[in-house]
Structure 1
Amino acid sequence: MIISGIDAGFSSIKVGVPDSVGKPQLLHNKWGNPKTDSAVFFTEEGDRLTGEQARNAYQADQDHGAIGWKNYIGTEETLCIDHQGNEYTARDLLVVHLQAVKEAVEQKTGEPVQEITLCHPADYTDRQRWDILQAPKEVGLEVLKLVPEPTAAALGNELHKRGSCTALTYDLGGWTFDVSIITPKGNLFKVVATDGKSDLGGRDIDAKLIEKALDRFENEHGFRPNRDEYPVFFQDLTARIEQLKITLSVREKATLTISCRGELLQMELTRSELESLIEPEVEETINITQQVVKDAGLTFDDIDIVLPVGGGSAIPAVKEELNRISNGKVSSQVEPLYAAAYGAVIASRIEKERKHEPYMVGNKSLPSTGMSLEDVVGNPIGVLVLDDNEELVTDEILSKNISVPSEQTELYKPAVPNQTEVLIYVVQASEGTPKDDATILGEFELDEIPPSPDRKGRIEITFEFDVNGMLRATARDKESGKSAELEIQYREEENDAA
């Protein structure tokens, strides 16, 4: 038996497995690569392709495949269909990838896979975490642990072996940006603050470079290629843009060469031009980073080390800005691309120990590491209450950056005298946010409560976050003992809440 650690990124999927002594190692795919493209394609024959094969096929037929699906986790949007007319959401596409991962791990290791640990962006919503918790069940897998990507990356870079310190993990991936403050001390690996943006990443930088190349091509040749007519051209352009970024991370200038309809473009780009082009995106990540440090009650004088991870962190302008705000504390000894997969393996072992279960590699039970992991809630959660103007606004119960697992109870009074039922809206929003601006996670009723003319506080609402950051809400009338419970679930066929 073996537990895999999976970093399912926007651009690629990386899989970690433990060796015989528990040390994380990367599982290479059947083509010998340490990562697999996050692409799915459905053939006319009914085959499900993943990886580079799927990406290549997708360029010629975008109706029957998908790339960039990760950003749609938590939605019901149809991203593609197969040739039998079946529709696929992002969660469905994750299922396809997980099936391929399960088969690859079992084939490579000769061990059955029943449990996995999954990485996710730090600012994932409750709904998004729900989707990635449920998807593995469809291929016979259970999620042992959900771990935020910056936490996993810090574990994978062995931050826990550096001794007591205060570290900042800056994770700029293909589509998401996350930052966390982490304080390993003794055997406790503690996250104290986190934030991010799920639609900010290397993809935004690529999009700007692609637009610049297309503008130049149109100026020189009088026409502008589009994706529908020239899918192979765009596949080539995307790959060359990626290589251009890599080259400019080590050289001062590089040349992009592309052709379409027999017309050739050679565009020289300097590092300074790239930095000017992407300055708004870099500045936004720096602003978020500074806010997280402030949220943690710290200054950069308190930060001992900065870990830049994710492909976007290799851009020199990013490291320069991080060094500027941190007074030169950016580490050069960092694994930027695969650390989250390594860290997911380590998190698996820590979680098994927390549950007092043996951590098995094959038939061998490995000794305890003695470590514990404490993460935080990435988004505030509360209920809707009536303000002085009789408007529904958010009252926070679990604040952003509270540790998980957590439990908090607040006392509320009925809205009117002699009220016999209470409708409770559970929302994801900060204190005072109006109903229309809040994300409603669910609602439930506490009914058949004894009427009382006195509107004193009698309704206890308790929120519990489990180790994966999933919410359970309970309401109880103190006078009668009547209670109701809601475990937040999102698909009608799965909802068995009380």
Structure 2
Amino acid sequence: MEISVGKVFGIDLGTTYSCIAAMDKWGRPVVYNNRDNQATTPSVVRFTEDNEVVVGLQAKRSALVHPDEVASVVKRKMGDPDWRFRAWGTDYAAPSISSQVLKSLARDVAEQDQSGATVTEVVITVPAYTGHEFREATKFAGELAGLKVIDIINEPTAAAFAYGFLQEGNTAQTVLVYDLGGGTFDVTVIRLAEKKIQVVATDGDPKLGGVDWDEAIAAFLADRFAEIHPDARRPSDSAVGSQHLMNLAEEVKQSLSQRSSYLAVVQHDGVQAEITMTRDELEELTAGLLHRTIDLTRRVLEKAATKGVTAVDQILLVGGMSKSPAVKQRIQAEFGIDTRLTDPDLAVAKGAAIFGQKRELESYVLESLRSRGALTEDEQLEDADPATLAEVLRVTADERAMGREEVGDLVATQISNVTSRGFGVQVLDRKSGEHRVEFLAHAQDELPISVEQQFYTSADNQTAVLIKVFEQNSGDESQGLDANTAIISGEITGVPHGWPKDTPVDVRLDMGTDQVITVTARHRAVNEPLVLTIKVGAASAAMREVERAKVDELKQRE
């Protein structure tokens, strides 16, 4: 494989499998195979006693023998500051482990690409329905892998980008992206029009995915094994046995997407059992899981309807679990909408690669315009003279041996998004005397956001004002502190004595299309406002330094 245009790679960093893509010299998104000649790499990492790091299929297989050395399903822990995986006396946070997967993908490109390409700049995808700390943890994983993460893009948006890019013509349509991956579920309503991708509404569950189907199958196999061999120890009672069941469960699940029954052989405690599982049994066993996705799909359609979008032209099935016949059958039965299985394992990475090329072209064209004096440093592409912009686009296309229309369309394509969660500040409820969250931005608000609200001091002679910003935790907005996550805080200080209770404090929340949040708070007695830019909190910063040191140590031992 050879790329000659884009230098920004797209990465789908998945719960169970990951992959990397780039644009080839014909302007198509192409996924790189790994050293096992597979398009996807298991998101599994082994830390050996000799400080060797093994990633992918070998690590997954070794879990059958060394389960305590192998970390998997780590994506579900991204953004959790307290979670650690311990191997040989060392604790690893989720970004450290994920960075090893990213490094492995980058090495695969270096080995496979005939043009000598190296992975330095990337776009990494994340589930749409994840919080700020998850996104920051993902960026940090890229940093630990030695990569420059130029952007984070939501997985459904990436999939829709790939779908729209590969479609013939520019027919406007509304699609629902049903993304059921290995560990997360996203469902998003998106409007596709000429040179525009507009996210209307999004919902999901970051703890629902194919691994939950695997666990249900593993429990089924363990129960049947116990029935056949009542005197033997249950395979689920040991780490090795549990890992064997999970690997076998994935095999059963994948096979039953193609056939009506499958014979599994469970070996444990010196005996073995042949266990047949039918597709009907699997569907009955996991009906509750599938029903949860249907409920969330129905909910996102209701959210879209409140914004004036009452019809969906097509449902795009994305993610490995979407290959299950039960998924398509249930969706069609529930909603009666044309359903398409769209490159379910690779669409997200391909969309990220297309978006990466768009970002790289935008940056190049913007710099070219500024170097010509056609734009100032503060001006953006939309401020450019149309004729000058057209000339720069033409030159850019010719320099890169790309189609002029292709370059123009990519640069001109606009992507608008919504917030998946609400954000607010802590306030004192004077009626109850309790602290609560007053939301300034709400889930499904269209980006960018700028909202200002006036609050008041709670006491006479208050010399400092605490500004504490919270992010919504659950699907439904709740003002209770426990239902939200504090993501940053700061104080307005230096307020002189003499200011009475109920002195106004103006708080403004700005959230850009990059989903970086800035909170500005101003007390009329203080000249300089308090400005909080939410990128990463102090606790996370401390964790970053520790994890960076661990990764550096692993590099030295390579």
- TM-score normalized with structure 2 length: 0.81
**Equivalents in 2 of 1:296, 1:303: separation in Å?**
10
Match of 1:494 in 2: 541
Q: What SS does structure 2 have at the residue aligned with 1:272?
A: helix
**Equivalents in 2 of 1:115, 1:357: separation in Å?**
17
Match of 1:251 in 2: 259
Rate the CA distance shift 1:55–1:8 in 2: closer, same or farther, 3 A: same
Match of 2:500 in 1: 453
For residues 155-194 of structure 1, what are the structure 2 equivalents within 5 Å?
A: 155-158=161-164, 161=167, 163-194=171-202
**Equivalents in 1 of 2:538, 2:138: separation in Å?**
13
1:440 aligns with 2:449: no
Q: Residues 462-494 of structure 1: CA distance to partner in whole angstroms, max 9, x if unpaired?
A: 222243323222212245443112223135473
For residues 69-148 of structure 1, what are the structure 2 equivalents within 5 Å?
A: 69-77=74-82, 79-83=84-88, 85-109=89-113, 110-148=116-154
Residue 468 of structure 2 aligns to which amino acid in structure 1?
A: Y
**Equivalents in 2 of 1:452, 1:230: separation in Å?**
63
Residue 313 of structure 2 aligns to which amino acid in structure 1?
A: D
Within the candidate set 30, 50, 59, 1:54 is matched to: 59
Rate the CA distance shift 1:425–1:365 in 2: closer, same or farther, 3 A: farther
Q: After the TM superposition, which of the residue ranges 59-68 and 305-314 deviates more from structure 2?
A: 59-68
Q: What SS does structure 2 have at the residue aligned with 1:383?
A: strand
**Equivalents in 2 of 1:247, 1:56: separation in Å?**
19
**Equivalents in 2 of 1:287, 1:159: separation in Å?**
30
**Equivalents in 2 of 1:135, 1:474: separation in Å?**
29
Residue 381 of structure 1 aligns to which amino acid in structure 2?
A: F
Q: After the TM superposition, which of the residue ranges 40-49 and 430-439 deviates more from structure 2?
A: 430-439
**Equivalents in 1 of 2:146, 2:127: separation in Å?**
24
CA contact (8 A) 2:123 2:352 kept: yes
Match of 2:21 in 1: 16
Q: Residues 87-114 of structure 1: CA distance to partner in whole angstroms, max 9, x if unpaired?
A: 2111111122222222322333312332
Residue 411 of structure 1 aligns to which amino acid in structure 2?
A: Q
**Equivalents in 1 of 2:8, 2:400: separation in Å?**
13
**Equivalents in 1 of 2:511, 2:184: separation in Å?**
24
Match of 2:531 in 1: 485
CA contact (8 A) 1:381 1:397 kept: yes
Rate the CA distance shift 1:411–1:315 in 2: closer, same or farther, 3 A: same
**Equivalents in 1 of 2:95, 2:296: separation in Å?**
28
1:319 aligns with 2:315: no
**Equivalents in 2 of 1:406, 1:346: separation in Å?**
26
Match of 1:381 in 2: 423
Match of 1:32 in 2: 37
Deviation at 1:170, TM superposition (A): 0.6
CA contact (8 A) 2:458 2:501 kept: no
Within the candidate set 412, 423, 430, 2:455 is matched to: 412
Within the candidate set 443, 467, 470, 2:516 is matched to: 470
Deviation at 1:160, TM superposition (A): 7.4
Within the candidate set 305, 315, 319, 2:314 is matched to: 305
For residues 281-300 of structure 1, what are the structure 2 equivalents within 5 Å?
A: 281-297=289-305
Q: What SS does structure 1 have at the residue aligned with 2:457?
A: coil
Deviation at 1:186, TM superposition (A): 1.8
Q: What SS does structure 1 have at the residue aligned with 2:332?
A: helix
Match of 1:426 in 2: 469
1:63 aligns with 2:63: no
Unaligned 5+ runs, structure 2: 1-5, 369-392, 543-558
User: Which protein is richer in helix relative to its size?
Assistant: 2
Residue 311 of structure 1 aligns to which amino acid in structure 2?
A: G
Within the candidate set 400, 409, 414, 1:372 is matched to: 414
**Equivalents in 2 of 1:431, 1:13: separation in Å?**
32
Rate the CA distance shift 1:230–1:100 in 2: closer, same or farther, 3 A: closer
Deviation at 1:229, TM superposition (A): 4.5
Deviation at 1:454, TM superposition (A): 6.2
For residues 238-277 of structure 1, what are the structure 2 equivalents within 5 Å?
A: 238-277=246-285
Q: Residues 97-154 of structure 1: CA distance to partner in whole angstroms, max 9, x if unpaired?
A: 2222223223333123321000111111111111111222223322111111111122
For residues 194-205 of structure 1, what are the structure 2 equivalents within 5 Å?
A: 194-205=202-213
CA contact (8 A) 1:192 1:375 kept: yes
Unaligned 5+ runs, structure 1: none
Q: After the TM superposition, which of the residue ranges 283-292 and 242-251 deviates more from structure 2?
A: 242-251
Deviation at 1:354, TM superposition (A): 5.0
CA contact (8 A) 2:304 2:310 kept: no
**Equivalents in 1 of 2:444, 2:344: separation in Å?**
25
Rate the CA distance shift 1:262–1:300 in 2: closer, same or farther, 3 A: farther
CA contact (8 A) 2:20 2:32 kept: yes
Deviation at 1:228, TM superposition (A): 6.8
Q: After the TM superposition, which of the residue ranges 204-213 and 401-410 deviates more from structure 2?
A: 401-410
Q: What SS does structure 2 have at the residue aligned with 1:340?
A: helix
Residue 333 of structure 2 aligns to which amino acid in structure 1?
A: R
Deviation at 1:287, TM superposition (A): 0.6
Q: What SS does structure 1 have at the residue aligned with 2:327?
A: helix
Q: What SS does structure 1 have at the residue aligned with 2:117?
A: coil
1:3 aligns with 2:49: no
Rate the CA distance shift 1:188–1:478 in 2: closer, same or farther, 3 A: farther
Identity, % of aligned positions: 27
Rate the CA distance shift 1:86–1:467 in 2: closer, same or farther, 3 A: farther
Rate the CA distance shift 1:100–1:471 in 2: closer, same or farther, 3 A: same
Q: After the TM superposition, which of the residue ranges 347-356 and 286-295 deviates more from structure 2?
A: 347-356
Q: After the TM superposition, which of the residue ranges 390-399 and 428-437 deviates more from structure 2?
A: 428-437
CA contact (8 A) 2:63 2:243 kept: no
CA contact (8 A) 1:4 1:115 kept: yes
User: Which protein is richer in strand relative to its size?
Assistant: 1
CA contact (8 A) 2:81 2:540 kept: no
Q: Residues 177-235 of structure 1: CA distance to partner in whole angstroms, max 9, x if unpaired?
A: 1100100122111111111111111111111111111111101111243357472x555
**Equivalents in 2 of 1:197, 1:219: separation in Å?**
34
CA contact (8 A) 1:181 1:192 kept: yes
CA contact (8 A) 2:125 2:152 kept: yes
Q: What SS does structure 2 have at the residue aligned with 1:163?
A: coil
CA contact (8 A) 1:65 1:81 kept: no
Q: After the TM superposition, which of the residue ranges 370-379 and 296-305 deviates more from structure 2?
A: 296-305
CA RMSD of aligned residues (A): 2.6
Q: Residues 257-311 of structure 1: CA distance to partner in whole angstroms, max 9, x if unpaired?
A: 3233453322222322222111111111111111111112269960110011112
Residue 487 of structure 2 aligns to which amino acid in structure 1?
A: L
Q: Residues 2-48 of structure 1: CA distance to partner in whole angstroms, max 9, x if unpaired?
A: 21101011111111111124321001111211111111112333321
- TM-score normalized with structure 1 length: 0.91
Rate the CA distance shift 1:381–1:353 in 2: closer, same or farther, 3 A: farther
Rate the CA distance shift 1:16–1:393 in 2: closer, same or farther, 3 A: same
Rate the CA distance shift 1:193–1:415 in 2: closer, same or farther, 3 A: same
Q: Residues 359-380 of structure 1: CA distance to partner in whole angstroms, max 9, x if unpaired?
A: 999x838533221211221111
CA contact (8 A) 1:6 1:116 kept: yes
Rate the CA distance shift 1:33–1:472 in 2: closer, same or farther, 3 A: same
